A and B are shown apart, each in its own frame.
Chain A
Amino acid sequence: MLSKRNITVLALLTALGLVALWLLSVPRGLTLADLPQHQPDVANGEILYHAAGCWSCHKPGTDLKDVDPNLPAGGFPLKTPVGTFYPPNLTPDPATGLGTWSDLDFVNAVQRGVSPAGANLIPAFPYTSYAHMRVEDVLDIKAYLATLPAIDSPARSAEIPFPALLRRGVGLWKWIGLDTTPWEPDPVQSASWNRGSYLVNGPGHCAECHTPRNVFMALDTSQALAGGPHPEGEGRVPSLRGLIERGRYKDAKDIASALQFGEMLGYDKLSSGGMGQVQRNIAKLPEADIQAIGEYLASLK
Chain B
Amino acid sequence: MLGFRALKTVTAAALLLGAGVVSASADATSSIQARQACMKANGAVMAVAVPIVKGEKPFDKAALDAAFAKEKEACAGWADWWGDDTKPGGATETWAKEEVWTDKAGFEAAGAAYGKAATAVAAAADEASFKAAFPALGASCQGCHEKFRRPKG
Interface-centre pick from A237, A269, A272 (highest chain B CB count, 10 A): A272
Which residues of B in the span 122-153 have a Cβ within 8 Å of any Cβ on A? Answer: 134-135, 138-139, 141-142, 145-146, 149-153
Asked whether, in the complex, the Cβ of A265 is within 8 Å of the Cβ of B50, the reply is yes
A40 within 8 A of B: no
List residues of chain A with CB within 8 A of the CB of B149.
271-272
CA distance A238 to B151 in the complex (A): 8
B53 within 8 A of A: yes
A169 within 8 A of B: no
B43 within 8 A of A: yes
Interface-centre pick from A230, A262, A266, A271 (highest chain B CB count, 10 A): A266
| A230 CB, min distance to chain B CBs, angstroms | 6
List residues of chain B with CB within 8 A of the CB of A230.
150-151
B74 within 8 A of A: no
List residues of chain A with CB within 8 A of the CB of B95.
235, 272
B100 within 8 A of A: no
Residue on A with the closest CB to B42?
Answer: A268
List residues of chain B with CB within 8 A of the CB of A227.
153
**How many residue pairs, one in A and one in B, have C-beta atoms under 8 Å apart?**
67
The proximity string for A residues 222-239 relative to B, scoring 1 for CB distances below 8 Å and 0 otherwise, is: 000001001000111111
Asked whether, in the complex, the Cβ of A272 is within 8 Å of the Cβ of B150, the reply is yes
B46 within 8 A of A: yes
List residues of chain A with CB within 8 A of the CB of B139.
263-264
B118 within 8 A of A: no
Asked whether, in the complex, the Cβ of B97 is within 8 Å of the Cβ of A234, the reply is yes
Asked whether, in the complex, the Cβ of A262 is within 8 Å of the Cβ of B54, the reply is no
Asked whether, in the complex, the Cβ of B141 is within 8 Å of the Cβ of A271, the reply is yes
State which of B97, B138, B146, B153 has its C-beta within 8 Å of the C-beta of A266: B138
List residues of chain A with CB within 8 A of the CB of B53.
265
B64 within 8 A of A: no
Residue on B with the closest CB to A276?
Answer: B146
The proximity string for B residues 83-112 relative to A, scoring 1 for CB distances below 8 Å and 0 otherwise, is: 000000000000101000000000000000
B49 within 8 A of A: yes
List residues of chain A with CB within 8 A of the CB of B49.
266
State which of A238, A263, A273, A275 has its C-beta within 8 Å of the C-beta of B141: A263
List residues of chain B with CB within 8 A of the CB of A261.
138
Question: What are the nearest 4 A-B pairs in CB distance?
Answer: A236-B153, A235-B150, A271-B145, A273-B151
B interface residues, Cβ below 8 angstroms from A: 43, 46-47, 49-50, 53-54, 95, 97, 134-135, 138-139, 141-142, 145-146, 149-153
